[in-house]
Amino acid sequence: MRTAGLTMNDVWAHRVLREPGVETHRLEGVTAQLGVMVESLDLKHRGKEMNYRPYLHLTGELRSVTPARVLPFGISQVTYSPGRGEKVDAFYEFDDQQLVVLASKGYFASGFAVPEQVTGIEWELPATADMLVLAPSGAQTDGDIPVVFTQIHGIGGLEIDLESSGYDLAVYFADHSKDGVPRAEAVVDARGLKARSDAVNLLFSEDELGLDIEVKQVVGAPASAAAPVADGISTRLRQIEAEIAAEREQYRTERASTQGTTENLYRERVAAALQTAEEQNVDLLEPVTQERESRRRAAKPAPGLEERKRRVAQHAAGLDFGEDGERGLGS
């Protein structure tokens, strides 16, 4: 049986738990498959400590939760209407062999981009969830169905890869290795690229990709021919560093504007208070600074060296020294 679901942070979940005499079934750490409508897919990179290793950032909306085993009252799937599901963020890590495939498809070329055909469709992603099932009331009359509240573990940062998800996303990238002319793109299954068997098979073999020929060409190339390749890699690395810096700045900005994060608390409660105190100090110090400036301008300038010499000579002329060497007052 399929039924509509609610999130665990919904106000009704707390009311149900406080309601006396209500039959509930709480399940924790349930293995499930999430149905996620993918909205965007971005190619990003790790930091310098991980050699700028590429990964994919996936964002979408939760549409369904299918537990590995049937829930109480025969519930096999929990669904969400468009616009009612939670936001999902997932991070797809490439393994070493997939990185070789990406490099063979011109990963360091300027035109390399994420395939568009993998967005706008529903993916199935592995996850674990906590579920609260509210039993039907009374004698389970017609139309009275159980209510399910769900909470997905790490829904804002799901870690997936080829082994856990069954998706080999490297094969869907277009080939930009030869003058930017893309190779024929693979047809994407409308169900969401999900593997139908236990073993995941690559759509293209190494012979079809021509990896052996390309490796020999790179190894056997003279130094003069390899120099432009090195320059292109250096340029690409600088571009990656700039993209990472922009991603970090965007991340800090998003965190600062998100309610409940430490960055947001600091901006709202600490930084704002510091700025107010700073402005108050400026307002208090401004009159004092103006008064000091007025006194400085009103004070007479200090006499120069020539003026001091003239005053000393004038004072000495007014004194008279007698023959006995004693000093007397001048006339």
Q: Tokens 């797809």: give the residue.
A: 92
Q: Where are the domains of the chain?
A: 2-183+194-208, 265-297
**pLDDT single digits (tens) 50-97:** 888 999 999 999 999 999 999 988 899 999 988 888 999 999 999 999
**Could you read off the pLDDT of 139-191 as tens digits, one per residue?**
444 557 788 989 999 999 999 999 999 999 998 888 887 754 443 343 344 34
Q: What is the dihedral of CA 20, 23, 29, 30, to 10 degrees?
A: -150
Distance CA 174, CA 181 (A): 9
Question: Cα separations (Å) of 324 from 316, 320, 321, 327, 330?
Answer: 18, 12, 8, 9, 15
Burial (CB count within 10 angstroms: exposed 0-12, middle 13-18, buried 19+), residue 256: middle
